[in-house]
Structure 1
Amino acid sequence: MTDPLDLAYPFTGWWLVQNSPANRVPSHGTPAFASSQAIDFVPVSASGRTARIGLRALVGTEPPERFPGFGRELLAPVDGVVLAAHGSEIDHASFRGLRSLGYAATQRRRASAGWRALAGNHVLIETRGTVVALCHLQQDSVRVRAGQRVRAGDPIARCGNSGNSTEPHVHIQASEGADFGSAAAVPITFGGSLPVNGRLVHL
């Protein structure tokens, strides 16, 4: 297996770990689109909570602005060169209750549209032959462009709810190339380790 690519956490504040490859591989239930080693971080409040779940959350949809981390700044997790930067997709409504079941049922249809449709707004950074993707970014928040050199810690975008996302979060994955339909996944770590599901990361 390819050696893990060590990254810096691409944010500050409080974030909840979900779909971590420390718990299972493939982390997102499928090896498709080089996602077997991907990880998700959900922005939360200092108390470790996302938006309160009320009746609206159980039976309907919620605007992404209702969530505490929507629009929170994201940083480059590694030194490298931006391969692609896309930021025009809308931030759609969030699904957490009964509507999330219907959303899950349409997963195959969304996957058939390809990786870009799943990723929504995204930034790709190439470093030492590996491509790092940050996905589900806020519409019109991307601050970098293709060909730009970035250093770890540089602001690149904001947390959004575009693409295949049920609530605002950032999805991070690495691969051996930018063609996610054929590239192999690359394991990632953060500061030499990989957080497990349910852990709160605070920076």
Structure 2
Amino acid sequence: MMKKRNNVNWMHYSKMGLALGALTVVLAACGGNAAQPSPTTVETTTPPATTEQPTTDSDKLTAEDIPTALLDGKYKEVYDQFSDDFKKQISEKDFITSAETSIKQVKTFNEAADMEINDADVRSWVSDSGDLGLNVTMDKQGTILGLQAKALTPAPATDKVTTKNEYAFPFKGDWFVFWGGNNALINYHYEYESQRYAYDFIQRKDGHSYSGDPLKNESYYAFGQPLYAPADGKVVSVLSNIADNEPVGKMNPEVPAGNEVVIAHANGEYSVIGHMKKGSALVKVGDMVKTGDQLGLVGNSGNSSEAHLHYQVSDGADLFKSKAIQIKWKDGSEPVQGETVTAK
């Protein structure tokens, strides 16, 4: 039995726009109505004055250096690269104390995922024991915008179970996995049995999920993209009258999944396609669909901070009363956060 650890959120107050900040903190909760964990509250104090020379670019730690630096006790070097806003949330002394406590039994960190999105570099690692995750977010200048140590609780029994049916991706072209994988560090849904193996997909071009005004839905590459049936089945639920959230960042937790289509497949499996664009559903309850039939368009409805697709397969039609099942994709892939999948 693995020892349970407490989460240590050394805060994640970044100003990368919805681009990443909101995705990291909020999009994780998309489609969910379970209470979300809140960051650990820390008392902040003014760091002691220093007469040391400022860090030069050549001295800066890279994102991939962070785990080793922490394990080597280079807490000050790490803290020195915190953004000014980050430093206002936690003093150097408190950071060092919490870091020492949280990783004192860790021997190594193994990379779990990495992604570059909207001018930020996001890296994640899992400890050798598997019960602690580490995540860092840096900007292009090497400034640390967020750092988190997160307790992980693996679910090996359900991790070994996959859907009986094979599923096609419910879109065409290249899509980026923002949340996906078998731990809560790289897939926020994992902590909740009803959404454990859900995916959140966005579109990314030149490292960005949008172009233009970040407050407008139309600026996001995913918004308005067509969605398709991932397997043959019968439509058992359709919701299409929920307004898309705008300005982007405003969310609607009253209807967490937003506009959605639920399809019943063979073997008691159900596809849940969420956050669709208002009025875009092309199917109705009772319709029989074939793999590849268009269902509607990607939107930004419900508890969503940015246009994206929430997709999962469950053992029942009700998203919150059913259990998610790990998807067996037709192409044999096992995509995780930071990867791009291509569907024809």
* Band the TM-score falls in, shorter-chain normalisation: 0.7 to 0.9
Aligned to 1:89: 242
**CA displacement at 1:194 relative to structure 2:** 1.8
**CA displacement at 1:174 relative to structure 2:** 1.4
- Relative to structure 1, the CA distance from residue 27 to residue 193 in structure 2 (aligned partners, 3 Å threshold; closer, same or farther) is farther
In the TM superposition, what are the counterparts of 1:27-42 in structure 2 within 5 Å?
27-31=188-192, 34-42=194-202
**Alignment partners' CA distance in 1, 2:243 and 2:303:** 12
Question: Unmatched 5+ residue regions in structure 2?
Answer: 1-157
Opposite residue 147 of structure 1, the aligned amino acid is: G
Opposite residue 89 of structure 1, the aligned amino acid is: I
Opposite residue 191 of structure 2, the aligned amino acid is: T
**CA displacement at 1:51 relative to structure 2:** 1.1
TM-score (norm 2): 0.48
**Contact 1:16/1:199 (8 A) holds in 2:** yes
1:122 equivalent to 2:282? Answer: no
Opposite residue 156 of structure 1, the aligned amino acid is: L
**Contact 2:272/2:319 (8 A) holds in 1:** no
Regions of 4+ moved over 3 Å: 22-27
**CA displacement at 1:27 relative to structure 2:** 4.2
Aligned to 1:189: 328
In the TM superposition, what are the counterparts of 1:1-203 in structure 2 within 5 Å?
1=158, 2-4=161-163, 5-22=165-182, 24=184, 27-31=188-192, 34-45=194-205, 47-52=206-211, 57=214, 62-93=215-246, 94-95=248-249, 110=253, 113=254, 117-128=255-266, 129-191=268-330, 192-203=332-343
**Identity score, percent:** 32
TM-score (norm 1): 0.79
**Contact 2:183/2:190 (8 A) holds in 1:** no
**CA displacement at 1:184 relative to structure 2:** 1.8
Opposite residue 182 of structure 1, the aligned amino acid is: K
- Relative to structure 1, the CA distance from residue 121 to residue 16 in structure 2 (aligned partners, 3 Å threshold; closer, same or farther) is same
SS at match of 1:119: coil
**CA displacement at 1:157 relative to structure 2:** 0.6
Opposite residue 179 of structure 1, the aligned amino acid is: D
**Alignment partners' CA distance in 1, 2:225 and 2:318:** 28
Give deviations 1:133-162, integer Å, cap 9, x for gaps: 000000110000111000110100101000
**Alignment partners' CA distance in 2, 1:170 and 1:69:** 8
SS at match of 2:312: strand
**Contact 2:181/2:197 (8 A) holds in 1:** yes
**Alignment partners' CA distance in 1, 2:190 and 2:323:** 16
SS at match of 2:189: coil
**Contact 1:135/1:172 (8 A) holds in 2:** yes
**Contact 1:122/1:136 (8 A) holds in 2:** yes
- Relative to structure 1, the CA distance from residue 198 to residue 23 in structure 2 (aligned partners, 3 Å threshold; closer, same or farther) is farther
**Alignment partners' CA distance in 1, 2:337 and 2:284:** 32
**Contact 1:23/1:196 (8 A) holds in 2:** no
Question: Unmatched 5+ residue regions in structure 1?
Answer: none
**Contact 2:228/2:293 (8 A) holds in 1:** yes
Give deviations 1:181-201, integer Å, cap 9, x for gaps: 332221113222221111122
Opposite residue 271 of structure 2, the aligned amino acid is: V
**Contact 1:73/1:157 (8 A) holds in 2:** yes
**Contact 1:92/1:162 (8 A) holds in 2:** yes
Bigger Rg, structure 1 or 2: 2
| Larger relative contact order (Cα-Cα within 8 Å, sequence gap ≥ 6) | 1
